């Protein structure tokens, strides 16, 4: 329905580094849920994306209001997801105002708790948020560890867009590079589709990601394989599949 479509637009804008646009879409869903008295916070799980978008545009007070609603829902309903997501939001807000070992540790605890509940996407997003905060505070080793955790989880889920976002953060840290020719699963799938002759827009539709994500994976692939265009992809991928390569 239109609410889910609007939420998806907001999440996509956030992924594309358009937090103003994302906040607009996500506010629409959040405001509707509040106005209609939707009490179950899991019914429209827009809160974590909205808090993230609001923090990115500097609307910290508004982000705190969203967290306060989650805290109330968690207390009233003993709602595990709301409780964890409130802690996640509070941590992101706090780390946006300055580094805190305690808040970073709290985000790690939240990520682990999400995983124990089987909420792997929320777990991965929380590691990504922690890694971004660590990178911005020049906690290079910690950032690398958090971001690599996020990437592993996103790749396991086949979440190419968010994996690319985490990879971009890792590149800014100065990450350890994979061995020559060693592609991630999402890079490999993107490269295979490109080698088949699909245009970037077609690849994006097939993988349910943005065109910019496809471009990101192809740039990384070309660098790792030592090639300059997709014309060379097919032969190079076949070489990787040869025994001993």
Q: Which CATH number do you get for residue 90?
A: 1.25.40
Q: Whole-model pTM? A: 0.73
- What is the rounded distance in angstroms from the CA atom of residue 238 to the CA atom of residue 242? 7
Q: What range does the domain containing 68 cover?
A: 1-97
Asked whether residue 158 falls in the same domain as residue 211, the answer is no
Domain count, the chain: 3
Report the run of H or E that residue 199 belongs to, with start and end: none
94-122 average pLDDT score: 95
Kindly tell me if the per-residue pLDDT of 129 is higher than 60: yes
For residue range 47-84, list pLDDT tens digits in order. Answer: 999 999 999 999 999 999 999 999 999 999 999 999 99
Asked whether residue 82 falls in the same domain as residue 4, the answer is yes
Asked whether residue 13 falls in the same domain as residue 92, the answer is yes
Q: What DSSP state is assigned to residue 208?
A: T
Residue with tokens 């890792």: 170
Residue 204's CATH number: 1.10.10.10
pLDDT of residue 238: 86
Residue that terminates a domain, selected from 36, 68, 97: 97
Asked whether residue 129 falls in the same domain as residue 202, the answer is no
For residue range 160-188, list pLDDT tens digits in order. Answer: 889 989 988 988 887 555 555 578 777 88
- Residue 165: CB atoms within 10 Å: 24
Asked if 151 contacts 187 with a C-beta cutoff of 8 angstroms, the reply is: no
């Amino acid at each position: 329905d239109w609410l889910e479509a609007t939420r998806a637009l907001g999440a996509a804008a956030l992924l594309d580094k358009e937090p103003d646009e994302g906040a607009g879409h996500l506010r629409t869903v959040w405001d509707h849920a509040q106005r209609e008295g939707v009490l179950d916070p899991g019914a429209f799980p827009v809160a974590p994306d909205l808090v993230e978008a609001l923090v990115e545009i500097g609307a910290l007070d508004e982000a705190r209001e969203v967290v306060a609603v989650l805290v109330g829902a968690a207390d009233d309903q003993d709602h595990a997801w709301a409780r964890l997501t409130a802690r996640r939001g509070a941590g992101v807000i706090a780390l946006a105002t300055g580094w805190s070992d305690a808040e970073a540790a709290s985000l790690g605890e939240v990520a682990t708790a999400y995983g124990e509940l089987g909420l792997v996407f929320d777990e991965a997003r929380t590691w990504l948020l922690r890694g971004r905060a660590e990178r911005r505070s020049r906690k290079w080793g910690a950032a690398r560890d958090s971001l690599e955790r996020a990437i592993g989880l996103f790749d396991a889920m086949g979440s190419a867009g968010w994996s690319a976002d985490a990879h971009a953060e890792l590149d800014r840290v100065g990450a350890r590079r994979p061995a020559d020719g060693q592609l991630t699963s999402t890079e490999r799938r993107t490269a295979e589709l490109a080698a088949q002759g699909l245009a970037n827009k077609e690849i994006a539709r097939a993988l349910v990601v943005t065109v910019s994500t496809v471009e990101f994976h192809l740039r990384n692939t070309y660098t790792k394989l030592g090639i300059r265009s997709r014309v060379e992809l097919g032969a190079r991928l076949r070489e990787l599949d040869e025994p001993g390569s």
